[in-house]
Structure 1
Amino acid sequence: MRRITLYSVGVAALGAAALAALVAWPVGRTPEPIALEGNADRGAYLARASGCIACHSNFEEGGAPLAGGAPLETRFGTFYPPNLTTDPDHGIGDWTAESFAMAVRQGIGPDGEPYYPSFPYTFYADFTDQEIADLWAAFRTVPPVAEPSPEHAVGFPFDQRWGLKLWRAVFFHDPLTEPVAGRSEEWNRGRELVRGAAHCGACHTPRNVAGGRDLGALFSGNANLPGGSKAPSIRPGELVENGWTVASLAYALQTGVTPSGDAFGGSMAEVVREGTRFLSASDREAVALYLLDDEAAAHERTADVAGEGSGDTRMD
């Protein structure tokens, strides 16, 4: 009995030590100084493409732009997009360009704590220093709103942020936005937007029990979006089967009108209203061209499943 007791105590001590080590385990890395001059117009365009305004503005409730978004109800709890205005107390007014870069590319706050993946930072990991500088210049023009965002309503064990360190180790994949040799400039631009800023896979890819994307089913649709909505498959075969062409998809990203004459509803309507309609015609066409390329899609899925670039690759 004494041996069993000592064994139990030892196991408990090791478990406690492992937990303490995990809690203390630092994630992320302080970025190099962002010394480039940003262009606010380019940054505003990228912010629209990235869904910042759509997510962090609760216009339906009369909220100010970027003062905090509508709640996202998930099976893990309810998440509240925070205030991103220049208010120093409730927004990001006291941040630096470097802390902003760390948040956007790494999903790490100024306090060193990881953000929940309801913030799709994993798709922004390849943003360049110039893009970060442009975004930062744009956000610095946002009027301050002295309104705090509600705390996330997340129960145990998901309220333990140290657990996000394990999540990141498994599911923080390189978004694979880099140009592919032999492909056209337009196709590569579409790839960059779909896999990066526009983060199409965040909604149109199913997720596992841990909330990680199932890369083997990339773009095949998701029946369990926040709030109970659904996102259809945007794989080339299904798009063509449903009557989509490059022209009609580009048009829908501008107007929200589908080939059948219907209109997007739910979160996709918001994406168009606050995001894709502001994109240039060439960018909307690039997105459509990339998504409808059936031959390339098979290769892309193979690359994702193989784990090319998986892991916390962008840390500066």
Structure 2
Amino acid sequence: MAKKLLAAAALIAVAAGALFWLLTAPRSISTAALPQHQPDLENGEAMFQLGGCANCHAVPKAEGDERLKLAGGLELATDFGTFRVPNISPDEATGIGGWSDADFVGAMQRGVSPDGAHYYPAFPYASYARMRAEDVLDLKAYLDTLPAVSNEVAGHDLAFPYNLRRGLGLWKRLYLSDAPVVSLTADAERLLRGRYLVEGAGHCGECHTPRGTLGAMREDAWLAGAPNPEGKGRIPNITPHADGVESWSEADLVYFFESGFTPEFDSVGGSMVAVQEELARLEKSDLEAIAAYLKAVPPRPSAGR
């Protein structure tokens, strides 16, 4: 009887392991699944600015044209360990110069590396999953025009069990979706554009939304503010609540994006300075769309207060 129980337990363990392996498998994307598309470099640059790519991937403290050298190396200290931002310059040896379009779209929208490993969601693919593949391809085309920089970035320093990437397959099944976060009551083109920019390439929720135990953005507190990942203070609530931007008009928001000044004539500070400077480069119609969306999202009290 004991031998039969052991054999049954072994079969169950093997079956459970096989099921886990199946459920956590990275889902790459094939070239055939990509849309036929002629890259638009101007739009790619806009996606680059909206996403603030240089803010994380440029060498820390770089200024001017040096910010276009995306050699990586920034260290992000989190509760899960230290993440290091990779080189995404078109260097073939240490960057992404050898990546295909499918490699890039798979990384951006599915969080999968060219060699089929899961990326950690410190890379905000949970937001980029909501982008149009065409915009992702335009972004890649623009990145390909930037300087190639040789810089081998060290790996992450994560404690067990966070250093086991395979489990991220389950995290993705729970939290990775291309569905919009906010259901809009009006289908106005400007609101839809604003939602697309904020929830996708702009990935505003990644900083302005608190996270749950497993590190996913809490959609029940969408844009309601969160602890500052740099360790000091909080990222503000940007919903139309009294704790947030209720008193700001859409014009106030647009002016803030353009100038860095609030309606009270205070100025933007901290890591938002670089974000605001990138936003100021966008078309005014896109800034107006972002403002319209922020005034249309559900008002939430500041999270964690």
Report if TM-score (shorter chain) is over 0.5: yes
- Give 1:14 shift: 3.8
Cα gap change, 1:9 to 1:80, in 2 (>3 Å): farther
Larger CA deviation: 10-19 vs 94-103: 10-19
What is the aligned partner in structure 2 of residue 27 from structure 1?
26
Q: How many residues align?
A: 293
Secondary structure of the corresponding residue to residue 102 of structure 1: helix
Which one of the candidate residues 111, 129, 134 is aligned to 1:130? Answer: 134
- Give 1:87 shift: 0.7
The one-character-per-residue Cα deviations of 1:227-255 (angstroms, maximum 9, x if unpaired) are: 455211111123345x4221121111122
Tell me how far apart the structure 2 counterparts of residues 146 and 132 of structure 1 sit (CA, whole Å).
24
Structure 1 position 162 matched with structure 2 position 166 = yes
What is the aligned partner in structure 2 of residue 279 from structure 1?
282
Larger CA deviation: 247-256 vs 70-79: 247-256
Secondary structure of the corresponding residue to residue 236 of structure 1: coil
Which one of the candidate residues 15, 18, 41 is aligned to 2:16? Answer: 18
What is the aligned partner in structure 1 of residue 303 from structure 2?
none
The one-character-per-residue Cα deviations of 1:1-33 (angstroms, maximum 9, x if unpaired) are: x85x98578657644653455346422142324
Tell me how far apart the structure 1 counterparts of residues 232 and 11 of structure 2 sit (CA, whole Å).
42
Q: Structure 1-normalised TM-score?
A: 0.83
Contact 1:229 1:266 in 2 (8 A): no
Q: Structure 2-normalised TM-score?
A: 0.86
What is the aligned partner in structure 2 of residue 39 from structure 1?
40
Structure 2 counterparts to residues 78-117 of structure 1, below 5 A: 78-117=82-121
Secondary structure of the corresponding residue to residue 104 of structure 2: helix
What is the aligned partner in structure 1 of residue 196 from structure 2?
192
Larger RCO (CA within 8 A; separation ≥ 6): 1
Contact 2:50 2:201 in 1 (8 A): yes
Which one of the candidate residues 216, 223, 235 is aligned to 1:231? Answer: 235
Equivalent residue letter for 1:220: A
Identity %: 35
- Give 1:184 shift: 2.1
Contact 2:130 2:177 in 1 (8 A): no
Cα gap change, 1:163 to 1:281, in 2 (>3 Å): same
- Residue ranges of structure 2 left out of the alignment (5+ in a row): 301-305
Larger CA deviation: 108-117 vs 64-73: 64-73
- Give 1:77 shift: 0.7
Contact 2:129 2:176 in 1 (8 A): no
Which one of the candidate residues 271, 276, 294 is aligned to 1:291? Answer: 294
